Amino acid sequence: MHPTGDAILADLKRVETERRARAADPALDAAVVALKAYQQKRFETTYADLLADPRYRAAARFFLEELYGPHDFTRRDAQFARIVPGLVRLFPREVIDTVAHLAALHALSEELDTEMARHLGARALDRAAYVQAWQRTGRPHERRRQIELMHRVGLDLDVYTRNPLLRHSLRMMRGPARLARLEALQQFLESGFDTFREMRGAQSFLALIVRRETELADRLFAATDATVSAAGDPLGQLP
Place 51 in a pLDDT band, splitting at 50, 70 and 90.
very high
Smallest CA-to-CA distance from 192 within 113, 101, 119 is with 101
- Cα Rg, the chain, nearest whole Å: 18
Place 81 in a pLDDT band, splitting at 50, 70 and 90.
low
Place 192 in a pLDDT band, splitting at 50, 70 and 90.
confident
* pLDDT mean over 163-184: 64
Q: Report yes or no: 151 and 101 within 8 Å, Cβ to Cβ.
A: no
- The CA distance from 115 to 174, in Å, is 38
- The CA distance from 10 to 1, in Å, is 12
- The CA distance from 112 to 122, in Å, is 17
DSSP H or E stretch at residue 88: helix 87-90
* pLDDT mean over 76-80: 65
- Cα 196 to its chain centre, rounded Å, is 16
Helical residues (DSSP H) of 121-230, grouped into ranges: 127-137, 140-160, 164-172, 174-179, 183-199, 203-222, 225-229
pLDDT at 107: 92
- Give percent of the chain above pLDDT 70: 77
Tell me: pLDDT of 28 over 90. yes
CB atoms within 10 A of CB 16: 16
Question: Bigger pLDDT: 159 or 226?
Answer: 159
Tell me: pLDDT of 84 over 90. no
Question: What pLDDT, in 10s, does the model give residues 196-225?
Answer: 878 888 889 999 999 999 999 999 999 887
* pLDDT mean over 158-176: 69
Q: Report yes or no: 231 and 237 within 8 Å, Cβ to Cβ.
A: no
- Give percent of the chain above pLDDT 90: 40
Question: What pLDDT, in 10s, does the model give residues 124-159?
Answer: 899 999 999 999 999 999 999 999 999 998 888 888
Q: Report yes or no: 56 and 50 within 8 Å, Cβ to Cβ.
A: yes
pLDDT at 4: 78
Contacts of 142 by beta carbon, 8 Å cutoff, 6+ apart: 108, 111, 112
Burial class (CB in 10 A: 0-12, 13-18, 19+), 100: buried
* pLDDT mean over 92-121: 89
Question: Bigger pLDDT: 171 or 36?
Answer: 36
* Domain positions in the chain: 3-228
